[in-house]
Chains A and B, each alone.
Chain A
Amino acid sequence: MGYRIGVDVGGSFTDFAVFDEATATISSLKVFSRPDAPGEEILAGLDTLAQRDGITAEDVSYFTHGTTVGVNTVIQRNGDDVALFTTRNFEDVLQMARLKIPQIHNLYSRRPDPLVPRERVFGIDERTEATGTVLTAPDREDVESAVAAARKAGCTGIVLAFLNAYRNPANEAEVARMIAEIAPEMPVVSSAATWPIIREYERTITAVISGYVQPRVAHYLDRFETVLRERGVACPLHITKTNGGVMGIDQARDECVQMILSGTASGVIGAGYLAQHCGFPKILSLDIGGTSADAAVILDGTPQYGVGELIGDFQIHVPSVSVSSVGQGGGSIAWIDPLGVLQVGPASAGSTPGPVCYGRGGTKPTITDAVAASNLIGHTPLGYGAVTVDHAAARAAIAPLAERLGISIEETAANIIEISVSSMYAEVSGLTSRFGIDPREFHLFAFGGAGAMLACFLARELNMKGVVVPLTPGVVSALGGLIADLKNDFIRTLYIDVTEAGVATLAAPVAELQATALDWLKGKQGFKGEARLSLSADMRYLGQSYELETPLDAADLSVAAISEAFHTEHARLYGHADRDALVQLVNLRLVVAGATPKPRIAEPDPATGPARPVRHVTAHFDGTAQETPVYARADLAPGHTFDAPAIIGQDDTTTVVPPGFTVTVDRFGNLVITRKEG
């Protein structure tokens, strides 16, 4: 028995979730992040765990980590100078992208500069047909001269992305083998090995991003591993994945694109686990920090997956936990436009200089200042003493806006909150339409520093069922990494008709995928438990131009079963199906997962008396002054219930509850905030 540890390194704080295998319970810890010296925060956390809980390095039996180093490398464009080898005469794939320009009404608009500039793209004389037949195999001399040119251009790595490699990776594999001989020092990323999907731009950019971030990510992971090993942590190290799973650190070093969104995905997985455990089957997670606000749809604990998640200016096309940006966070700046209309964002004061009321150099009024000017935050210690709220400064920052609008500071603050909430509403509403869900059936699950501050306002606009604020919102991401399963995705493009003849060819690729998947889980990841394999296929009616992903039963791959699964899925999504039409199977997909042990969520002792506020303040909700009780989260226990308005303070966040809601503490200690009856 030991301790399993999950760590999430954020911009300001690093959170630890510690899972005691003996008791199956979770505890948490927060330390300051050290962007100046990555790794130090992890040691600091381990020090505290040793002192506080007596947990030594030898006691650690499992370690997972979510990091934003990959995504930051793309956003800051400080990745490596990689070369791209394409099929000759198709070298412009990154510049062309999908053609569409970012702002379609703007005559100046241009697509962002590619991650690999055109002078570092080299064509190779090779060609594979759409059927997978190799027309032209690569030639050694041709590859040698391309490698020489790449070297001359100062490239330190090579990405291979050949036409139709999704169908047959032989030419990419052959060129990779040649490069290993010609230039063994050059890391090579192959598009077919990264994620073999049809669509050359999408597959190429995904592989390019992987190659681009690889050295920096590998360096970061090396350091992370060294730090832990030197400290005596001997257990396997895991990294959380873009797909919401985890993988061993060695795989993360090689397949960087699989961990590029590891930070955001873990938060959603953590939220999903907590919500499911606590009996909330349909939630929208809302994670608001100083510079970002992210939302995700989670059904029965399972997040929605998508492809095309944004990484800086680009999209990656591996299966990803679908997380949507819904705003710029608590630092968004309020201003009055030339026509006299009050606006919020898109400019943001971020974490630095941050809101005026935090007194760290910010001079422009932000959403957080509007909340402070309304006297809704700053009544209990925040941010472990690192943050104090200067109400007067917030009011002073908003005063000029109020003067121009000819209304009071409180009304102006209320309008700023309303505008920013309506802007988040617009984004969340788009998200719900994209997934075809009705927010009225959902709870809003709030975490991040500012999530609970604005969640009730947003839930009110969306007519949601209620808001859930977990006991320790800060630890959701770290917990997500800790409970995530080992998980990997596989895809194979087949283009077969669902007929007796077509289906007869299915057994071999299915068996191959299964063998590869099991090898990944049991071999590469060393997983000992039971493997979960989920088979699905992208299918369509013959002649349609898009596919639906349809779950399949691997035990019954008959024409009847496959067709029926598709008809059913088609009817579910579109309300009709054509049972006489021929079905075509385009891609086969397989997800393999190995379950990790799950903690139980502690149930705190129930309340013994009514909830008692620590004080009362005059706060402004929607511009109206209200005598408002302030509660300390630590004083609240299961069974407590009270009406809003209310403010609940805790170290890592403040929950603001406007009038019209009732707050209940459930048996897990979550704040469950619902509309007051009647």
Chain B
Amino acid sequence: MAIDQRNLSVLANFCAAAADAMAFTLMRTAHSAFIKETEDFSCQIVSREGLAFTSPRQFGAPWYSGIDYAPLLRHFDDYEEGDICITNDPYAGNVATHSPDMHIWKPVFWQGEIACFVVGHIHNTDVGGAVPASLSRTLTEIEQEGLRIPPVKLVHRGEMNEFVVRVIRSNVRMPEQNWGDLNAQIASVNVGERKIHDIIARFGFEGFVEGVGQMLDYSEAQARAILTRVPDGDYFFADYADEDSPGGRPCRVALTLRVRGDEVVLDYTGSDPQLSSALNMPTGGVERHPLVMVGLTYVLFTLDNSVILNAGTLRAARAILPEGTVVNCQPSAAVGMRSLTCAMTQIVTVGCFAQALPDLIPAASPGGNAIMNVKTSARNGKPIMASIGPVGGGGGGTPFCDGSDGAGGATGFLRNTPIEISEAEVPIRFRRYGLEPDTGAPGQFRGGLSAVMEFEVSSPETVVTARNRNRSIMGGWGLKGAHPGAVSQFARNPGPSEIQLKNTDLVKCDPGDVIRVVGPGAGGWGDPMARDPEQVARDVAQGAVSEACARADYGVVLCHGAVDRAATEALRAAAPRRKALFSHGAERQAFEAVWTPARYALLTAFLASAPVGWRFFLKHQVFDAVETAGPLEDMPAQMEALFDALRTRYAL
């Protein structure tokens, strides 16, 4: 059957049904809470060439809609019916992005020919390695991050490769869970294969293959139509993760967005060299790697909710990912926490588009959504390890409404863990879980409130980890006259003898210790003095904004909960206004006073000329030297002298 304008939706519906069926099967049969509660997985159907053309409509991680399996598919040229391949190797095929993500793919044959592949991944709770759950910022090599399976046929012509299964089982901490989840993945691709067979029976092989091409073309046309509405230009934005290593320097992610007609280039030149910590992104320089396209995907969908997301969506875009940087690391850099860095790529993408479309783009959610884990023991000595949920900031303020509270924007896809589940399974007692007042940055539309979690530990030798936490040094930013976001907080024993844990992501506790974590504040949108005073009064009534902040930040004077119009008008008239498109916190302003874009440009060029293995070291040498000497008036000369000294000293 020929597929065209009349019936393209029919094929699209059938394919969506197949992807949904894969997701439902996975969720129904999976074993780990990561899949059942958090929904950290993907199920997709990709073309013979490897381009994802259909994803489940409601479920799964939102990053992979445009994934390209081509580099991975090429690992075999002898696919046979009944094969299922597997890998979790971030350095083979540019599809897996850290070791817990186990990807599998299965060719779907029709009368001896491959029609497409059914694929998917799940995040395994643990794949062995140096630390429980396999992930920590402090790890420095991929080898510490657990089991690494190169692309291999897990099932060959319907026969399970038992050796691969034994390797997996003997390298992980909870083999039953991995085994249960792996079976769920296999069931999922098998259901996908069956559904595709039904579809081909209905549309014919040619009709199906052509239709898949048209589905990709359709999404491409949708994306291009949106991009033509974005003014041409070069837009630059950079942002910083707190530390490039424990106690280290800020980690910069920089992006120049070049919009030309219906195409965009995302040039990540200026991003930091790859790190001796686990923040690196293993993109292999693939120009449409999903990890560097997440922000673009969000922006396109936000501008037009009718867009069908698939690999066609990304055809109008390509990324420049300099080798040996955080956005394209070389082996064997550790990559476990690439999601922290990925969040930064989303933020800088939103920052670039905000310059192009200042009346449409919201402030970015701040990123750094801490995934809280507790490793402790029960009274009988039994060890217990559990995720007690994400604690992050809200969504950024938008041009039309406040940001979503507790989680929103790009970090709104995770589900939390109920307090009652955590208390039933882990011997800790929660003292507070909710929304922290005054954490949504003021604006005409304020940022969403941050989540706050406070709990008391009851066993000795308890280890609390806050994976992915960020923004404890430099906060998120506001737009169009709004305030920037506050920094996140992490403290032990809050109160007079409180210990600030700063940017640590791991803390040892004893019975009676209380841990408090507050997500980073989300930036607002628009001048807070333009916010409807009645809405501010409502914020105060709801406990979202304190009366003091209503007055100081919004210029709203309340009297017994009601707006004092005259006093408010007077206060607002005298209030200073922010003129710049972006508003940044004091920490970032101080940092950027020294580390200007010009200084960074010189550093980037210098580091690019050095061998990859030297760059992280040299960056720190330069930062140390600039800190010692202070910024000199002739910045280029200062930097050149510094570089010369380093070249001489290390014979570079």
A89 and B432 form a contact (CB under 8 A): yes
A426 and B20 form a contact (CB under 8 A): yes
- Which of B13, B29, B404 has most A Cβ within 10 Å? B13
List of 6 A-B pairs having minimum Cβ-Cβ separation, nearest first: A92-B434, A101-B412, A426-B17, A545-B33, A433-B24, A105-B301
Q: Which residues of A contact B32 (CB under 8 A)?
A: 545
Given A108-B401, A429-B20, A415 and B6 touching (CB < 8 A)?
Answer: yes
B413 and A100 form a contact (CB under 8 A): yes
Q: How far is the CB of B439 from chain A (nearest CB, A)?
A: 12
B17 and A429 form a contact (CB under 8 A): yes
B222 and A339 form a contact (CB under 8 A): yes
17 contacts between A and B (CB under 8 A): A92-B435, A96-B405, A99-B412, A101-B412, A107-B365, A107-B396, A108-B401, A119-B542, A164-B420, A341-B9, A343-B9, A415-B6, A422-B10, A426-B16, A430-B20, A430-B21, A495-B424
Q: How far is the CB of A91 from chain B (nearest CB, A)?
A: 6
Main secondary structure of the interface of A (DSSP, over half): loop
Per-residue interface assignment for chain B, residues 3 to 19, with 1 indicating a CB less than 8 Å from any chain A CB and 0 otherwise: 00111111001101110
A75 interface residue (CB < 8 Å to B): no
B510 interface residue (CB < 8 Å to A): no
A338 and B225 form a contact (CB under 8 A): yes
A107 and B423 form a contact (CB under 8 A): no
A407 interface residue (CB < 8 Å to B): yes
B432 and A118 form a contact (CB under 8 A): no
Given the complex of chains A and B, what is the CA–CA distance between A384 and B152 in angstroms? 66
B180 interface residue (CB < 8 Å to A): yes
B13 and A425 form a contact (CB under 8 A): yes
Q: Which residues of B contact A545 (CB under 8 A)?
A: 31-33, 36-37, 425
Stretch at the interface among B83-91, B237-245, B302-310, B626-634: B302-310
Closest to B400 in A: A108
A575 interface residue (CB < 8 Å to B): yes
Per-residue interface assignment for chain B, residues 124 to 155, with 1 indicating a CB less than 8 Å from any chain A CB and 0 otherwise: 00000000000000000000000000000000
A434 interface residue (CB < 8 Å to B): yes
Q: How far is the CB of B379 from chain A (nearest CB, A)?
A: 11
Closest to A197 in B: B420
Stretch at the interface among A198-206, A307-315, A551-559, A651-659: A198-206
Q: Which residues of B contact A573 (CB under 8 A)?
A: 29
Q: How far is the CB of A375 from chain B (nearest CB, A)?
A: 20
B116 interface residue (CB < 8 Å to A): no
A578 and B176 form a contact (CB under 8 A): yes
Closest to A201 in B: B418
Known pairs A166-B420, A198-B420, A415-B6; list 18 more (Cβ under 8 Å).
A93-B434, A98-B415, A99-B451, A103-B301, A104-B413, A105-B62, A105-B298, A105-B301, A108-B400, A117-B542, A202-B418, A337-B306, A342-B5, A425-B17, A436-B25, A495-B424, A544-B31, A545-B36
- Which of A101, A201, A576 has most B Cβ within 10 Å? A101
A92 and B195 form a contact (CB under 8 A): no
**CB proximity to A under 8 Å, residues B248-277:** none
Among A105, A342, A430, which residue has its beta carbon within 8 angstroms of that of B6? A342
B395 interface residue (CB < 8 Å to A): yes
A100 and B414 form a contact (CB under 8 A): yes
Q: How far is the CB of B191 from chain A (nearest CB, A)?
A: 7
Closest to A546 in B: B36
Given the complex of chains A and B, what is the CA–CA distance between A310 and B547 in angstroms? 38
A490 interface residue (CB < 8 Å to B): no
Given the complex of chains A and B, what is the CA–CA distance between A95 and B435 in angstroms? 9
Among B13, B177, B225, B350, which residue has its beta carbon within 8 angstroms of that of A426? B13
Among B218, B305, B361, B538, which residue has its beta carbon within 8 angstroms of that of A106? B305
Among A109, A163, A419, which residue has its beta carbon within 8 angstroms of that of B408? A109
Q: How far is the CB of B299 from chain A (nearest CB, A)?
A: 7
**CB proximity to A under 8 Å, residues B412-471:** 412-416, 418-421, 423-425, 429-435, 451, 454
Given the complex of chains A and B, what is the CA–CA distance between A433 and B25 in angstroms? 6
Closest to A434 in B: B24
A96 and B24 form a contact (CB under 8 A): no
Q: How far is the CB of A632 from chain B (nearest CB, A)?
A: 33
Given A99-B390, A105-B302, A430-B20, A419 and B7 touching (CB < 8 A)?
Answer: yes
Q: Which residues of B contact A412 (CB under 8 A)?
A: 6
Given A105-B297, A201-B418, A574 and B5 touching (CB < 8 A)?
Answer: no
A100 and B415 form a contact (CB under 8 A): yes
Q: Which residues of A contact B10 (CB under 8 A)?
A: 415, 418-419, 422
A434 and B409 form a contact (CB under 8 A): no
Closest to B33 in A: A545
B472 interface residue (CB < 8 Å to A): no
Q: How far is the CB of B11 from chain A (nearest CB, A)?
A: 8
B413 and A574 form a contact (CB under 8 A): no
Closest to A200 in B: B420
A107 and B299 form a contact (CB under 8 A): yes
Given the complex of chains A and B, what is the CA–CA distance between A80 and B174 in angstroms? 49
- Which of B9, B306, B430 has most A Cβ within 10 Å? B9
B398 and A108 form a contact (CB under 8 A): yes
A90 and B433 form a contact (CB under 8 A): yes
Q: How far is the CB of A603 from chain B (nearest CB, A)?
A: 38
B17 and A99 form a contact (CB under 8 A): no
A92 and B406 form a contact (CB under 8 A): yes
- Which of B183, B297, B389, B395 has most A Cβ within 10 Å? B395
B398 and A107 form a contact (CB under 8 A): yes
Q: How far is the CB of A543 from chain B (nearest CB, A)?
A: 8
**CB proximity to B under 8 Å, residues A553-593:** 573-576, 578
Q: Which residues of B contact A300 (CB under 8 A)?
A: none
Per-residue interface assignment for chain B, residues 372 to 401, with 1 indicating a CB less than 8 Å from any chain A CB and 0 otherwise: 000000000000000001100001101011
B21 and A110 form a contact (CB under 8 A): no
B543 interface residue (CB < 8 Å to A): yes
B413 and A129 form a contact (CB under 8 A): no
A678 interface residue (CB < 8 Å to B): no
A101 and B429 form a contact (CB under 8 A): no
Among A100, A200, A436, which residue has its beta carbon within 8 angstroms of that of B419? A200
Closest to A578 in B: B176
**CB proximity to B under 8 Å, residues A116-165:** 117-119, 129-130, 163-164
Per-residue interface assignment for chain B, residues 353 to 381, with 1 indicating a CB less than 8 Å from any chain A CB and 0 otherwise: 00000000110010000000000000000
Among B20, B362, B407, B454, which residue has its beta carbon within 8 angstroms of that of A107? B362
Given the complex of chains A and B, what is the CA–CA distance between A95 and B407 in angstroms? 11
Closest to B194 in A: A438
